[in-house]
Amino acid sequence: MLTDQQILRIPGPSPIPPSVSLAMAQPMIGHRGQSTSDMLSVIRPKLKRVFGTEQEVLILTASGTAGLEAAVVNAVAPHDEVLVIVSGAFGERFADICKTYNIQTHLIETEWGKAATVSDITEAFEAHPNIRAVFMTYCETSTGVLNPVKELAAEIRSRSEALIIVDGVSCIGGVETRMDEWGLDIVVSGSQKAFMLPAGLAFIAVSDRAWNKIERNPQPRFYLDLKKHQDNLIKDTTPFTPALSLLFGLQKALELMEEEGLVNVYARHDRLMKMTRSAFKALGVPLLTEDKDASPTVTAVKPADFDAEVLRKVLKGEFAMEVAGGQKILANKIFRIGHMGYCSPADMLQAIAAIEIAIAKAGGEIQLGSGVRAAQQEYLKGANG
Ligand X SMILES: *Cc1c(COP(=O)(O)O)cnc(C)c1O
Beta strands in 6-119 (DSSP E): 7-8, 57-61, 81-86, 104-109
10 close to 321: Cβ distance less than 8 angstroms: no
192-221: contacts with ligand X (CB under 6 A) = 199
CB of 338 to ligand X, least distance (A): 10
CA–chain centroid gap for 309, Å, is: 24
Q: Which of 64, 198, 242, 326 binds ligand X (CB under 6 A)?
A: 64
160 vs 170 by CB, closer to ligand X: 170
Which of 4, 7, 82, 31 lies closest to 320 in space, CA to CA?
A: 7
21 binds ligand X (CB under 6 A): no
Q: Which is nearer to ligand X, 193 or 312 (CB)?
A: 193
CA-to-CA distance for 139 and 273, rounded, in angstroms? 13
CB of 42 to ligand X, least distance (A): 24
* CA 93 to the chain's CA centroid: 14
Q: Smallest gap, in angstroms, from Cβ of residue 372 to ligand X? A: 28
With CB under 6 A as the contact rule, the residue among 36, 53, 87, 137 that binds ligand X is 137
12 binds ligand X (CB under 6 A): yes
Judged by CB under 6 A, the residue of 36, 61, 141, 238 near ligand X is 141
Query: From CA 48, how far away is CA 56, in angstroms rounded?
Result: 7
Which residue's CB comes closest to ligand X? 64
Rounded least distance, CB 16 to ligand X, Å: 15
One residue of 92, 167, 185, 293 binding ligand X per CB under 6 A: 167
| Amino acid in position 334 | I
Tell me how far the alpha carbon of residue 353 is from its chain's centroid.
Answer: 26
Nearest approach in angstroms of CB 94 to ligand X is: 8
CB of 311 to ligand X, least distance (A): 22
Size of the site for ligand X (CB under 6 A): 12
Is 170 among the residues that bind ligand X (CB under 6 A)? yes
Determine if 169 is a binding residue for ligand X (CB under 6 A). yes
Nearest-angstrom CA–CA distance, 370 and 346: 16
Alpha-carbon distance 318 to 84, whole Å? Answer: 41
CA-CA distance, 132 to 4, in Å (whole number)?
A: 50
Q: Of residues 65-94, which lie at the interface with ligand X (CB under 6 A)?
A: 65, 90
Tell me whether residue 74 or residue 141 sits nearer to ligand X (CB atom): 141
CA angle 72, 77, 80 (to 5 degrees): 100
User: Is 9 in contact with 322 (CB distance < 8 Å)?
Assistant: yes
Q: Which residues bind ligand X (CB under 6 A)?
A: 12, 63-65, 90, 137, 141, 167, 169-170, 190, 199
